[in-house]
Amino acid sequence: TVLTTCLVGINHSDTRASGLLHGRRALVITLQAIPLMVVLFLLVPRVAPLWNMQVGGDKARTGMSDSMSPGQISELSESAELAFRVDFQGDMPPRAQRYWRGLTLSHYDGRTWQQAVPQGQPESEYLYQRGSEKPDWYKRLEGRRSPDQQYYRYQVIAEPTQRRWLFSLDVPFPLYGDVSLAKDMRLVANQPVSERFAYRVDSVPAVSAAINLTSQERQLMLSLPEGAGRKARGLAHQWRLESDSASDIAQRALDYFRDQPFHYTLRPPRLTVDPVDDFLFRTRRGFCEHYASSFTFLMRAAGVPARVVVGYQGGERNELGSHLLVRQYDAHAWSEIWLGGHGWTRVDPTGAVAPDRIELGLREALENSEDGRDLLDDLGLRRFSDGGLFAKVSQLMDYVDFRWQTWVLGYDSAFQSEFLEDLLGAVSPVRIAIALIVAVTLLMGLYALFLLWHGGNERLTLMEREYWRLHQRVSERGRPLEAGLTPMQLCQAISEQWPQAAIAADNWAKYYQKLHYDPVSLPNKQQKRHLRSLRNRLYKLLD
């Protein structure tokens, strides 16, 4: 609008119009262009750019890593950067059920958990890409879906990370986006996420029971490094002898975390020799990755297939809309164990030690911990929970940005194809061309009618209105006047009918001509005010 105002001013520099008048004309032009712009934006086929420059493609943003070792996720929790937004269509799960899985970590070397694929199985067999032939495990999952099952439909807009892994609830079925689904229930982008990335998902938690466990997978999910966690192995072996099922073993581990003096803290002591034994029997102070790592180790040592899952838990709702904001400080790690008849089952040992972390979020958990209040101030997290004007403005800005991302930047070729299919019934070049011609013709016809109507109702200028007000008053008080009188002829007609107003009429006529025909400048506010005062003084002499 500012640039159009400048162009209007350049092309109408001889009119001596004010900058405000140029701005108003530019605003009218812009408003007239918006309907046509919307039609072209929606209907013109969107094609990929001929070239694309990747900026910072080798640099990873703050976010999840493809491995986990003690202290790594607690470092993420010191960041308030946005990880992704989620917009639900329908019901939203309660906070305690918002587990956004990103990566499953199956290989443990004694200190670090990493991603792994069972030996002898190529990674391509673990991935299903939309549009390709469906593998058997995906057909089995789809076969377990039914209309009466609880599911969540939502759209995720992920921030750029330069990595491929994405985040979703259990069990995700991708509906839209350049996304693949892995057999371990994680979503994978087909290209590194170098800019904000949108995808839609249906999550059906009950379908997890349909995922089978092959012998190679079982072997991987039970593997432990030699010599690691000797005391933990002994404790797990004891639980196995005293328990009737895998779920009983898991419950014993949770009771152990709940009954022993474990503490939830963002600044745990260092684990030196053996991370598992040091944590379980010496320090007993840690963050979610400590509990998930040690619990998964205990399960494997007891003969229960288990793995670590890292992602995010929770999310802050924007009160102005229906979407969630998931930030880096929502990063979380938990465990999954294999139970016969139930498949992979989520177990979060952190909830046994700090239930507030799961039910309420990180800030509330830190508020209730012994060192948490100081951490809230040190990490700058307190400001996000405070109310007041700042919180309202922040939510408004986030809402506007989210809608811009959803409706404008997220309107890519796939989204357009889906929209046009709903609008036109089927997408074809002929139908798109007809829709474009009809829409543009309709808009141009409406605009032409507006110009014809507006052209027959010319607006008077300020000086013209001033003249006609006096002309109309004189015609009402005395004999009717002709329409084509000059200012001086109008003055003479007034003097003939009202001799006492001759001087006032002459003063008004001379000052009017001076302002109206001045080639140098337009009348300013003071001059306009003085002209009105001369006219009002003349009115009194006509009464």
Residues ≥6 apart with Cβ < 8 Å to 76:
62, 63, 64, 328, 329, 331
Give the β-pairing of 343-347 and 331-339: antiparallel
Query: What is Dmax (Cα atoms) for the chain?
Result: 124
Give the DSSP letter string of 71-102: THHHHHTT---EEEEEEESS----GGG-EEEE
Q: What sign has the CA pseudo-torsion 515, 520, 523, 525?
A: negative
Residues ≥6 apart with Cβ < 8 Å to 224:
108, 233, 297, 300, 301
Strands (E), 230-330: 263-264, 285-286, 306-313, 316-317, 323-327
Mark whether 348 is an active-site residue.
yes
- Nearest-angstrom CA–CA distance, 165 and 262: 32
In the block, tokens 């989620």 appear at 86
Mark whether 6 is an active-site residue.
no
Residues 86 and 155 sit within 8 Å (Cβ to Cβ): yes
Task: Work out the angle between the directed axes of helices 19-43 and 2-11 (0-180°, nearest 10).
Answer: 120
Length of the chain (residues): 543
- Nearest-angstrom CA–CA distance, 185 and 171: 6
Q: Which residues of 403-423 are buried (b: 16+ CB within 10 A; e: fewer)?
A: eeebeeebeeebbbeeebeee
Instruction: State both tokens at 149.
Output: 């099952």
Residues 372 and 366 sit within 8 Å (Cβ to Cβ): yes
Query: Which residue in the list 22, 332, 398, 491 is annotated as catalytic?
Result: 332
Residues ≥6 apart with Cβ < 8 Å to 234:
none
- Closest by Cα among 362, 359, 326 to 95: 359
Mark whether 332 is an active-site residue.
yes
How many CB atoms lie under 10 A from the CB of residue 146? 10
Instruction: State both tokens at 32.
Output: 């007239």
DSSP label at residue 384: G
Give the β-pairing of 263-264 and 285-286: parallel
Instruction: State both tokens at 414.
Output: 């796939």
Query: Which residue in the list 170, 278, 348, 398 is annotated as catalytic?
Result: 348
Complete edge-to-edge strand list for the sheet that includes strand 113-114: 67-68, 113-114, 107-108
DSSP label at residue 328: G
Query: Which residue in the list 184, 202, 288, 330 is annotated as catalytic?
Result: 288
- Active-site residues, by number, are 288, 332, 348
